[in-house]
Structure 1
Amino acid sequence: MRIGELSERTGIPRRMLRYYEETGMLIPDRCANGYRNYGEGSVDKALQIRGLLDTGMPTRVIRQVLPCLKQPGDIHVYDATPETLHLLERELDGMTERIATMSRNRDAIARYIETVHLAQEASA
């Protein structure tokens, strides 16, 4: 499939898909005319990349982890180096901290909304 179809199927802009290619995370075949040709597996791979980026994981880490993620939920363990494991452990710790911060912020916003609603109901 061409980049436009991949973009439509994933909701990921073409420019972002090109960025995935530039960073070596998504590698399409090339047709004789130079057009990109993405296989069916590119849909899941592009969505995985987007999901990992959404967690805050940097592309340099995603490039290292991506070969282990064949499809969502399917992890293949290869000869991971101690450096890769350490890098992933740091990323996991960072994600855990971000989740805790987001949870605290979510709870504070929910309390604020509840307080505003109660104040509005009391004044009505």
Structure 2
Amino acid sequence: MKISEASRVSGVSARSLRHYEDEGLIASGRCSNGFRDYCQSTIDRVFVIRSLRESGLPVRLIREVLPHLTDEPDAGTDMVCAEFLHEVQSYRDRLAARIAVLSDQQAALDTYLREARRTDP
């Protein structure tokens, strides 16, 4: 299917499909006129990528684990998955730390606004 149909079916923009291809996450065939041609297995892969991206994972991590999520299992998959899970946990922990800092900043601003409103004539 052409990129416009692949975009519609997968729910991601044509620009995102091109980006995923540039990043090596997906591959497309080419028609005789040079247009990209996407098969159903590529669209299925896009669904996985989209789900991982919506979880906030960076492309770097997705690129590492994607073959093990979408291709046939092979030797070493358990090790890769364990490393991936460690990376995901580390990413999640960094995210939680950032959220904590932002929550503290929000609380400080809330306090400031409460105090400012009390003294406002």
Same fold per superposition (TM over 0.5)? yes
Instruction: Find the aligned partners of 1:96 and 1:46 in 2 and give their Cα distance.
Output: 18
Matched with 2:80 is: 84
Matched with 1:56 is: 58
Q: CA deviation at 1:69?
A: 4.0
Asked if 1 retains the 8 angstrom alpha-carbon contact of 2:25 and 2:66, the reply is yes
In angstroms, what is the RMSD of aligned CA positions?
A: 3.3
Matched with 2:20 is: 20
Q: Report the structure, 1 or 2, having the larger helix content.
A: 2
Matched with 2:30 is: 30
Other structure's SS at 1:10 match: coil
In the TM superposition, what whole-angstrom CA distance separates every residue of 1:27-75 from its partner, at most 9, and x where no partner exists?
A: 22322212112346265245236336x42351xx4234224445xxxxx
Identity of aligned residues (%): 26
Matched with 1:44 is: 47
Whichever of the two has the greater Rg, that structure is: 2
- Given the superposition, is the C-alpha separation of residues 38 and 77 from structure 1 closer, same or farther in structure 2, using an over 3 Å criterion? closer
Name structure 1 gaps, 5 residues minimum.
71-75
Matched with 2:108 is: 112
Matched with 2:89 is: 93
Matched with 2:98 is: 102
Instruction: Find the aligned partners of 2:69 and 2:82 in 1 and give their Cα distance.
Output: 18
Equivalent position amino acid for 2:53 in 1 = R
Instruction: Find the aligned partners of 1:23 and 1:111 in 2 and give their Cα distance.
Output: 39
Alignment coverage as a number of residue pairs: 114
Name structure 2 gaps, 5 residues minimum.
none
In the TM superposition, what whole-angstrom CA distance separates every residue of 1:70-101 from its partner, at most 9, and x where no partner exists?
A: 5xxxxx98346154134213312312321221
Instruction: Find the aligned partners of 2:72 and 2:112 in 1 and give their Cα distance.
Output: 50
